[in-house]
Amino acid sequence: MPANLTQQYLKAEEEYRRATTSDEELACLQVMLQEIPKHKGTDHLQAQLKSKISKLKKELTAEKSSGKKSGRGLRIPRQGAGTAILLGGPNAGKSQLVASLTHATPEVAPYPFTTTVPAPGMMPFEDVTTQLIDTPPITPDFVESHMFGLIRSADLALLVVDLGADDGIEQCQDVIDRLSTTKTRLAATSYLSEEDVGLSFTKTFLVANKIDAPDADARLELLHELCDFDFREFVVSATEGTGLEELRAAIYESMDVVRIYTKLPTAKEPDRDRPFTIRRGRTLLELAAQVHKDYAKGLRFARVWGTAVHDGTTVKGDYVLHDRDVVELHL
Ligand SMILES: Nc1nc2c(ncn2[C@@H]2O[C@H](COP(=O)(O)OP(=O)(O)O)[C@@H](O)[C@H]2O)c(=O)[nH]1
Ligand SMILES: [Mg+2]
């Protein structure tokens, strides 16, 4: 990591990874280029940023003149606190997991390739929801090109291993191997490569599924012997529900957001039903912009009730929000 990267740079980098449109990507890269400290040590990174920007600009111009979107493929709009994408070989239980964790009803079947297109579902946790994306299997010879964009922009990947079949471990290793030949890879935490801004790593949990199946324990032991993953591991049964509540909480925590309840100055109580979620460490100004695009400009101050301040404290735009803050915006 080059020294002295500013907060703005790091924030733009994080948003670049999570961008779901070319316009968003371009805007983030431009901030990164503007914010990067200009010295010898960052020459390489500066050059990379410039070339990415000019490539994206060309793509966008081509898109505009041809009137059709480039081949970036499928984009699924973000919803809820964040996005986790399920990955794995055929029959690992990805669709069953999405069904068990959400109210979605994907097709679950005892034969491979039942899921043909990525499909989102919303997973509730306490009073918020997180988006889960069910996907077709990744195999050594095939992965849909639109999967890469989805994996890069996800906050978390769930790599599902089938403990119910002897080839489950191999199929899981195949997913890692297939991705390791591309610029979209899995890791214990999310980050962009220092040497190559195009090389992106998505935070991953290993989800060992079907622990209820005969010989599943032995396969789990074998998995530990054969693979030296550093992913956090969850052992579950999607059909029986074993381990799912721990997984659900960990998925939500990985989104790294805080919940904010907004309240009108005239109201006695905040809206407790649907909190806003915003990345941990972000400020009041960013919340205002999320509530309404005009609010960030018009914000004068806010009053906050929460754990970090005395009840009703008056704060400015730079106030860092805390989980479960009640915020009254004054415009
Ligand atoms: N025993 C057992 N079977 C499961 C479990 N989860 C999924 N399955 C079965 O595995 C098969 C494939 O599941 P599916 O969700 O379609 O797999 P996908 O291809 O990864 O989406 C189905 O027959 C499921 O009923 C589980 O936890 N335990
Ligand atoms: Mg499926």
Kindly give, in sequence order, each residue whose CB lies less than 8 Å from that of residue 176, ignoring residues fewer than 6 positions away. Answer: 159, 186, 229
Residue 69 Cα to ligand 2 middle (Å)? 28
Which tens digits make up the pLDDT trace of 189-226? Answer: 998 887 787 889 999 999 999 999 999 999 999 999 99
B/e letters for 255-264, b = 16+ CB within 10 Å, e = fewer, are bebbbbbbbe
Residues with CB under 5 A from ligand 2 (ion): 94-95, 114-115
Tell me the percentage of the chain whose pLDDT exceeds 70.
97
Q: Is the pLDDT of residue 99 over 60?
A: yes
Q: Do residues 37 and 3 touch, judged by C-beta distance below 8 A?
A: yes
Whether 317 shows a pLDDT value over 90: the answer reads: yes
Residues contacting 114, CB < 8 A, separation 6+: 95, 107, 108
Percent of the chain topping pLDDT 90: 66
Ligand nearest to the CA of 87: 1
pLDDT of residue 3: 59
Tell me what the pLDDT averaged over the chain comes to.
91
Residue 121, ligand 1, Cβ within 6 A: no
Q: Which of 17-21, 24-28, 55-59 has the lowest mean pLDDT?
A: 17-21
Joined tokens for residue 241 = 């529900």
State in Å: Cα 93 to ligand 1 middle: 4
Lowest mean pLDDT among 44-53, 67-76, 200-209: 67-76
Q: Is the pLDDT of residue 57 over 60?
A: yes
Residue nearest to atom 19 of ligand 1 (CA): 91
113 Cβ below 6 A of ligand 1: no
- Average the pLDDT over 19-30 and give the result: 86
Q: pTM score, two decimals?
A: 0.87
> Residue 114 Cα, ligand 2 centroid: separation in angstroms?
5
Average pLDDT over residues 20-26: 84
Residue-wise DSSP of 204-237: EEEEEE-TTSTTHHHHHHHHHHH----SEEEE--
pLDDT (0 to 100) of residue 69: 57
With both helix axes pointing from N to C terminus, report the angle between 94-101 and 244-254 in degrees, rounded to the nearest 10: 80
Q: Which residue has the higher pLDDT, 254 or 44?
A: 254
pLDDT band at residue 311 under the 50/70/90 scheme: very high
Closest to 194 (Cα-Cα) out of 20, 313, 43, 318: 43
CA of 217 to the centre of ligand 1 (A): 17
Averaged pLDDT for residues 275-302? 93
Condensed to tens digits (0 to 9), the pLDDT of residues 113-155 reads 777 888 899 999 999 999 999 999 999 988 888 899 899 999 9
Output the pLDDT for position 71: 47
Residue 243 has pLDDT above 90, yes or no: yes
Ligand nearest, relative to CA of residue 89: 1
Nearest residue (CA) to ligand 1, atom 16? 108
The residues facing 83 across adjacent strands are 131
Tokens standing for 258? 């805080």
Any ligand 1 atom below 6 A from CB of 108: yes
Q: Is 204 in the pocket of ligand 1 (CB under 6 A)?
A: no
Output 320-324 pairs: Cβ under 8 A, ≥24 positions apart: 320/281, 320/282, 320/283, 321/258, 321/260, 321/278, 321/282, 321/283, 321/284, 321/287, 322/258, 323/258, 323/259, 323/280, 324/258, 324/259, 324/260, 324/261, 324/275
- Asked if the model's pLDDT at residue 15 lies above 60, the reply is yes
209 C-alpha to center of ligand 2: Å?
13
Is-contact 9 31, C-beta < 8 A? yes
pLDDT band at 2 (very low <50, low <70, confident <90, very high): low
Q: How confident is the model at residue 266 (pLDDT cuts 50, 70, 90)?
A: confident
